[in-house]
Amino acid sequence: DMEAARREEIGEYDRVAYPFDHLFRRMMQMEGSELELKEVHRMLMTDKVPLMPSLLHAFQVAGYKCPKSWNKARSRKKERLQKFVATKAFRDFQEVFSSFVQEVVVPCVGDREGVMYQFPPTFRVQVPSDKPVGIPHKDADYPSHVDTEINFWVPVTKVWGANSLHTESAPGLGDFHPFELEFGQFVRFWGNQCHHYTVANTTDSTRVSFDFRVIPASVYTNQFKGYIGDYPTRLARGTRMHVAKKMFEEVVDRILCGCGGEADSLKEKSRAEKIVKSADMGFRTAQAVCLLHGLGTREVDEQLALEMLKEEASGGEDSAQVCFAFYAWRKELEDETLSLPIKFLRKAAQHFNARAHCCLAAILSRPDRRAALDKRTGKTLKEWTVFA
């Protein structure tokens, strides 16, 4: 029900299961500090530049006098972002965030097929200042947005009045109001069509938050090739599909991470039964694997199977991305044909998919491709005994 999903609604979540406050303290390098997140504007500014880009940006746009090293860092945005996303703190956040979307957001949207969601979310820090951040807008004002998007806004500090986000409750209604939320609450709203904005934070409390957009999977058309605006997306399955995906991955993990050492054991009865069950539950990647190996009542149809895997992989399904690349590599396709599988693997690897790292490493580990191994893939090679 799109009408219900677009309706502004406040929800709650378990702060112990999703400790976003602790995770943000780590990402903002505040471990050991006596300051609370809402007091981050009182931090001692040293020559050490904050690793989180959003924190550095917050002080600069608010007009705070920053050390010269902070100002110089503005010219190295891409480099600093790469360092930030490589931190364990950020990776731990992403893991909790993915669980939050799967377990809290998907039920909140109510689409049985799940949601395509912005990954990673956008981090926001608004320190006390007489300067507002951004301009009034609706997301549809910007390119690559569709009206089936639904916004989720999750503050990690208490928000009210001038340190919060202001919005109208329905398109064109003009009843602008600030969200008033505690840590442990979030708000769902139709930011694609409802105008929203922030004002100067004249409170004495810094606002720390993150936000993201989702599209119900049943109405997702992949119009912008896996993106919502400027942001890449991932698929969070509905409960039934989530169970089917997990069942499938548990069976094929060892085979994919071993890059084919036990490929024939897919037909082993207990494994084949689970793959077939996952396929019968509607998980298309499992259906494709059944067609590749003739599992269950399905006849072998390699062409159709690879087309299905390619379609699912193009839509952002990481298991399909890995499986498609795995089978392309196993068949020793020509180099120019491997460019697409490698592209899929890199996308899956960016989602911290260990299977993708292993397959990517195997494909690239031929002498003529070793130069393409990135540091993360090299580290994975050392960690996984299958490549010892």
**Residue boundaries of the structural domains of the chain:** 2-19+90-236, 239-387
Residue with tokens 């969070």: 236
Evaluate if pTM is beyond 0.75.
no
- Show the low-confidence residues of the chain (pLDDT under 70): 253-267, 329-388
* Contact predicate 208/156, CB 8 Å: yes
User: In the CATH scheme, what is the code of domain 2-19+90-236?
Assistant: 2.60.120.620
Side-chain-side CA neighbours of residue 126 (13 Å): 28
pLDDT, one tens digit per residue, over 135-147 is: 999 999 999 999 9
How far, in Å, CA of 379 to CA of 363, rounded? 16
C-alpha 247/C-alpha 263 separation (Å) is 17
Residue 279 carries which side chain, given as an amino acid letter?
Answer: A
Q: What is the pLDDT of residue 74?
A: 81
Residue 252, pLDDT score? 75
Would you state the pLDDT for residue 281?
84
Q: What pLDDT is attached to residue 266?
A: 64
SS (H, E, C) 294-336: CCCCCCCCHHHHHHHHHHHHHCCCHHHHHHHHHHHHHCCCCHH
State pLDDT tens for residues 318-336. Answer: 788 778 877 776 665 444 4
At 345 the pLDDT is 64
Q: What is the pLDDT of residue 331?
A: 66
Are the C-beta atoms of residues 134 and 197 closer than 8 Å to each other? yes
**What is the SS3 assignment for 264?**
helix
Q: In what order do the strands lie in the sheet with 165-167?
A: 177-178, 165-167, 196-198
